[in-house]
Amino acid sequence: MTAALYALRAGKSVMLLEKSAFGGQIAESPLVENIPSIASISGQEYASRLFDQISNLGVGFDMDNVTGIVKNDGYFTAQGEYGSYEARAVIIATGCRPRKLAIPGEEKFLGKGVSYCAVCDGAFYEGKEVAVIGDANSAIVYALSLSDLCKKVTVCTLFDKFFGEEAAVKVLLARPNVEVIHDVSATSFNGGESLESISFKRKDGSAFDLKADGCFVAIGQLPDNARFEGLVKLDGNGFILVDEGMGTTTEGIYAAGDCRQKKIRQVVAAESDGAIAALSAIDYLNKLDAAQS
């Protein structure tokens, strides 16, 4: 939507295609407090405000799931499940989704104790007891951040060790309010209106419940870019490779946000990508027009 905003303000015609809900991951966050100049807002309201802004500028939009893009005679055709859409430039902003545990209670307690972002939601658990599930760098960073706020942080790993940076692991293990439980797998989230405990199973088959006010799941991100593989280059994890201007390996196609290879996945970073991608696409279109005149 940020890319659409910049393109519309430059006088370009924009068609916004969305398969589920405008706003993506941010729309699922019950409260967002890290957007400059906005002290506190729900993710849904923030997405709605941005959608209203671009609607007032005349954005075209449709609900469809794009299954692929084809380039013909200088035009791109985005093929959806319900229709096809032509454009001279395309910005891919399909984001990515957190890898989920797929256990009972995960969906029920989403936003009510279960979270996939400690940066976004950690402050809501100040002084409380939380768990972090994961064993790589993201889980370690989450746990370190939460240990500054929470009464206790219990890190639960699938294997018998961490797979993150050794220096960060040493710092984490030195924190007095951090406990690590290795070699366990979560089997369910439990509670009434909000999360109260997490059930785990050990490698030997025995089970136990861990009391927790919140749980942060950090077991990876999943992109959804295989449908574009013929036009853009992907890294080994399926994320789109771009240059500084968000350009892909196909001229006229750009990628922005969490769908691209990057380290920081935050709403302001995604918006920045969108603005850069739009400005690059605008420049590309202007050069096409100049060459044809």
* Beta-sheet strand order (sheet of 75-80): 66-72, 75-80, 84-87
In this predicted structure, what is the pLDDT of residue 172?
Answer: 96
Is beta strand 221-223 parallel, antiparallel or unpaired with respect to 96-98? antiparallel
Q: Could you tell me the domains of the chain?
A: 2-96+223-292 (3.50.50.60), 114-217 (3.50.50.60)
Instruction: Count the Cβ atoms, other than its own, within 10 Å of residue 180.
Output: 17
Nearest to 77 by CA among 152, 167, 15, 162: 15
Taking the C-alpha atoms of residue 207 and residue 182, their distance in angstroms, rounded to an integer, is 13
Q: What is the pLDDT of residue 82?
A: 96
- What is the predicted pLDDT for the residue at 137? 86
Give the DSSP per-residue string, the chain.
-HHHHHHHHTT---EEEESS-TTGGGGG-S-B--BTTBS-B-HHHHHHHHHHHHHHTT-EEEE--EEEEEEETTEEEEEESS-EEEES-EEE---EEEPP---TTTTTTBTTTEES-HHHHGGGGTTSEEEEE--SHHHHHHHHHHHTT-SEEEEE-SSSS--S-HHHHHHHHH-TTEEEE-SEEEEEEEESSSEEEEEEEETTS-EEEEE-SEEEE-S-EEE--GGGTTTS-B-TTSPBP--TTSB-SSTTEEE-GGGBS-S---HHHHHHHHHHHHHHHHHHHHHHHHHH-
Can you read off the two tokens belonging to residue 56?
């007032």
The pLDDT, as a whole number, for residue 38 is 93
Cα(6)–Cα(12) distance, integer angstroms? 9
pLDDT of res. 73: 86
pLDDT at position 74: 84
**The pLDDT of residue 30:** 67
Q: Write out the chain's pLDDT in tens, 293 residues.
A: 999 999 999 999 999 999 988 988 788 776 788 899 999 898 889 999 999 999 999 999 999 999 999 999 889 999 999 999 999 999 999 998 889 999 999 999 999 999 998 877 899 999 999 999 999 988 998 999 999 999 999 999 999 999 988 999 999 999 999 999 999 999 999 999 999 999 999 999 999 999 999 999 999 888 999 999 989 999 999 999 999 999 999 999 999 999 999 988 889 999 999 999 999 999 999 999 999 87
